[in-house]
Amino acid sequence: MTRNFIKILTLSVAGVFSFCCAIAQPRLPEGYFWKKLPNGLEVVVIENSKVPLATIEIAVKNGAYTEGPEYSGLSHLFEHMFFKANRDYPTQEKFLKRTQELGAIWNGTTSVERVNYFFTFDRDSLKAGLNFMNSAIRFPIYREEDMKKERPVVDGEFQRNESSPYFQLWYGIQQKLWGDLITRKVAIGIHEVINTATPEKMMIIKNKYYFPNNSLLTICGDVKHEAAFALAEKVFGDWASSGFNPQEKYPIPPFKPLAKTEYFVKESTIARAPIIQISWQGPSYLTDSASTVAADVFSTILALNSSKLQQALVDKGLASGVYVSYSTSRYVGPIDVTVIPNPNKLKACYDELMNQINSWGNADYYTDEQLKDAKAILLRSNIQAKEKPSSLPSQMSYQWCSTSLEYYTDLDNNYQKITRADIQKYLSTYVTGKPYAAGIIIAPELSKQTNVASFFVAK
């Protein structure tokens, strides 16, 4: 599945790079254990005995950001093909039969900077599960008949997204934000590329990114780390390293800063209610990790019922909802404002929205109490997110791919350290007075009635 526009809260600290000859142990939460195998595979074991289950996940630094136009969407297709056939289970029927024998719950996801695969099963099936994962990740078979079946499945997911008015608006924003590098920010892909994909192209992806030194194996649940490490090394220890760093051999081209603010109006009959989105190019973990933390705290302040933004738009009846988010990314994360305006007060809603955005940098825009409340909400949310053991590998691997393990570990503490000066720096660097992309999707009759194009324009 692809990212469904859900904000994943993240934190930023300095990353570290470990060499096999001098391996530095990353900081990890209590109950987390790390080891790097000689082939470069990083293994994290999370001891959590709340339920007698085990989850194993492999995350790979792959996704939309690695895709030029000719490969757009193929990381996603590759994810789907993972659950088909491999050397040890040469048909999908045999693959699925084995998941049933293991009693496994399984899935995979593809996003901008990560592809991950995971299985959850009884703790006593850990060795068998690791062997099953090993077969799928290392020895896939891309049969033409399987690809013929799966291409329309992946393309159908794309078509379902296109039937959503929000997706159409979101995609238009991505075109403005990223220009000719849009395929490196949209994991869903391009119809023609998906529908003409070949086994040979799948192997190109595998031979670029699917190596132990570009992957993270996480074992979480009712396990002991010493035994889990031993099993991981026995099963994956002979997986050959690529001999190169894929992130260096296939560098990501820099995203060009927006040169100017751009607006667009998209008329669509599927837009039963209008939606407005305004987006900026936000901070990158690699160049400004501190601002990624401040961005999350400020977004949380704006979500408070007591915030000036919510009171001015929702409480006054100008909008039924207003949402602000930042997506932490290794390579330029977007800052998004989404508003569901009152159709009868469209211009008033837009005018007040821009008034609020222009006031964000004011010292009195939020109170000390609201800053404190936002930090408390982030702390509670992160505690709640860690209640389900099977979700811990995915939470951690997102950070491993886009930031670092220490970034993940220090999340709670760094949120609590954010100051007004940190938020001001974030806003002045990325939002206040900076170019942005703005779009509205609206029904044709409402567009005509409100003459939206007369006021929804750059000034």
DSSP string covering 83-137:
TSEESSS-SHHHHHHHHHHHT-EEEEEE-SS-EEEEEEEEGGGHHHHHHHHHHHH
| CA of residue 354 relative to chain centroid, distance | 28
Q: Could you read off the pLDDT of 251-297 as tens digits, one per residue?
A: 999 999 999 999 999 999 999 999 999 999 999 999 999 999 999 99
Instruction: Give me the percent of the chain exceeding a pLDDT of 90.
Output: 94
CA separation (Å) from 350 to 62, 337, 340, 414, 449? 38, 12, 10, 34, 16
- Residue 17 binned pLDDT confidence (cut-offs 50, 70, 90): very low
H-helix or E-strand spanning residue 204: helix 199-209
CATH superfamily of 262-454: Metalloenzyme, LuxS/M16 peptidase-like (3.30.830.10)
Q: Specify the pLDDT at position 24.
A: 82
Q: Closest Cα to residue 282, out of 435, 442, 171, 450?
A: 435
Average pLDDT over residues 375-388: 96
CA separation (Å) from 439 to 172, 323, 453? 7, 15, 11
CATH of domain 32-249: 3.30.830.10
Residue 22 has pLDDT above 80, yes or no: no
CATH 3.30.830.10 domain position(s) in the chain: 32-249, 262-454
H-helix or E-strand spanning residue 75: helix 74-81
Computed over every residue of the chain, the mean pLDDT equals 94
CA dist., res. 210 & res. 246, Å (int): 9
- Residue 459 binned pLDDT confidence (cut-offs 50, 70, 90): confident
Query: Nearest 5°: CA angle at 26, between 374 and 251?
Result: 90
Q: Specify the pLDDT at position 23.
A: 64
Q: Specify the pLDDT at position 83.
A: 94
Q: Closest Cα to residue 113, out of 333, 411, 337?
A: 333
Average pLDDT over residues 393-417: 97
Helix/strand/coil (H/E/C) assignment for every residue in 22-68: ECCCCCCCCCEEEEECCCCCEEEEEECCCCCEEEEEEEECCCHHHCC
22: β partners: 19
Residue 401 has pLDDT above 50, yes or no: yes
Q: Specify the pLDDT at position 373.
A: 98
CB atoms inside a 10 Å sphere around CB 433? 8
- Residue 65 binned pLDDT confidence (cut-offs 50, 70, 90): very high
Q: What backbone phi and psi angles, to 5 degrees, belong to 36?
A: -110, 120
Q: What backbone phi and psi angles, to 5 degrees, belong to 215?
A: -135, 155
Q: Closest Cα to residue 187, out of 334, 57, 62?
A: 62
CA dist., res. 156 & res. 150, Å (int): 10
